[in-house]
Structure 1
Amino acid sequence: MNLPNKITILRVFMIPLFLIFFLVPNIPYGNLIAAIIFITASFTDFIDGYIARKYHLVTNFGKFADPLADKLLVSAALICFVQLQLVPAWIIIVIISREFIISGFRLVASDNGVVIAASYWGKFKTTSQMIMCILLIINLDYPFFNVLELVFTYLALALTVISLVDYLYKNRTVLSENK
């Protein structure tokens, strides 16, 4: 197993640690530690991809496990936000549903021999979701931060929908029966 794949697996193992520090009450600095774990795990996504591309270490396992690890990490945080009543469930359902739709769409595209690159809208969506997650994990109870959390939650929601529509529109021929 190569280094990028080991880093991806490490990201998956960081999820339970994140959950413990984020959800177990009365752990001193639990939210801060959870935020550091989340940020570190998110950063490993950049690192493993960079190493895999730079050193030509891209594998089928990595192509499968890397996006799965990302979705597991973000989905875990999003579901925690519902449990802790930080974000309404319907927003989280929309965000997670987009990920299922895109994953299914990529499977169909792959079966047709089509590789679909991430768009700028998708990158903006991911960035806004990561910032939203970090703000909600830290969850500073000050008016400025409460507004910032709200702004990034609705920005992430809007970019989630925009990136989905953009993705489906640009790749609409993938679902065509005339192939």
Structure 2
Amino acid sequence: MSAKKSIWTPANVVTCARVVLVPLWLLVAELVGVPSGETLSWSAMGVFVFFLLISLTDKVDGYLARSRNEVTTFGKFLDPIADKLAVVVSLCFLLEHGVVWSWVLLVVIAREFLVSGLRMIVASKGVVIAASNLGKWKTATTMTSICGLLFVCALPKESCAALPLALSFQLLLVVAMVLTAWSGIDYFAKSWKYLVEEG
């Protein structure tokens, strides 16, 4: 009989670290706020770098799990939660400081409610719907736009780069929200036949 594998693989440890780091990041971000000075804010730049590192851990744990052949049920459960926690918390911070619009959070949270409900219904019928590439693109563009907006927050407000970069990352965030809504609709379409099934 083979020995029972531990859930505490390197990949899962990294994922757990990401979950713990998100509230710590928020504490630091709230202490720093969004500066409105005429010079580069190193403290705000630190907030950006901190979040960038949190974002990159998503790639690290995925690589570790696949390369070491240690994909676990616990990891499959926790990894998307860690991603959603990072996205929602950072968007709440940016919304609080007027950097993003409230509808952005609406799209993200509504999509998660929809998909979570659909997953429960589909799973009750013994079916697993595979994640599509839309979800990966959605996560990548959302994280990139958030990192970009946090970077812009650290720049001098009157710098020649601040406005073009802010507009570029706001546009990328719009693209991310389109992909977010699209991936939710795609999941709904794939789940439809199980929703209308009786018995």
- When normalised by structure 1's length, the TM-score is 0.88
* 1:124-148 CA distance string (max 9 Å, x none): 2112111110111112442211211
Are the counterparts in 2 of residues 21 and 33 from structure 1 also a CA contact under 8 Å?
no
- Once residues 166 and 188 of structure 2 are traced to their aligned partners in structure 1, the CA distance between those partners, rounded to angstroms, is 33
| 1:147-166 equivalences in 2 (<5 Å) | 147-166=167-186
The amino acid that maps onto 1:57 is E
- Once residues 33 and 175 of structure 1 are traced to their aligned partners in structure 2, the CA distance between those partners, rounded to angstroms, is 46
* 1:99-150 CA distance string (max 9 Å, x none): 2221222232222222222212222211211111011111244221121122
1:84 and 2:97 equivalent? yes
The alignment partner of 1:24 has SS state of helix
Runs of 4+ in 1 over 3 A off after TM superposition: none
Consecutive unaligned residues of structure 1, counting only runs of 5 or more, are: none
Computing the radius of gyration over CA atoms, which structure comes out larger, 1 or 2?
2
The amino acid that maps onto 2:79 is D
Are the counterparts in 1 of residues 90 and 146 from structure 2 also a CA contact under 8 Å?
yes
RMSD: 2.0
* 1:142-163 CA distance string (max 9 Å, x none): 2211211221121122111122
Aligned residues: 179
Q: What's 1:47 paired with?
A: 60
The alignment partner of 2:70 has SS state of coil
Deviation at 1:176, TM superposition (A): 3.0
The amino acid that maps onto 1:23 is E
Identical residues among aligned pairs (%): 35
Deviation at 1:83, TM superposition (A): 0.7
- When normalised by structure 2's length, the TM-score is 0.80
Q: What's 2:83 paired with?
A: 70
- Once residues 119 and 63 of structure 2 are traced to their aligned partners in structure 1, the CA distance between those partners, rounded to angstroms, is 22
Consecutive unaligned residues of structure 2, counting only runs of 5 or more, are: 1-7, 36-40
| 1:70-149 equivalences in 2 (<5 Å) | 70-139=83-152, 140=155, 141=157, 142-149=162-169
- Once residues 170 and 76 of structure 1 are traced to their aligned partners in structure 2, the CA distance between those partners, rounded to angstroms, is 29
The amino acid that maps onto 1:124 is W
Does 155-164 or 113-122 show the bigger shift?
113-122
Does 153-162 or 106-115 show the bigger shift?
106-115
Q: Identify the match of residue 20 of structure 2 among 13, 17, 32.
A: 13
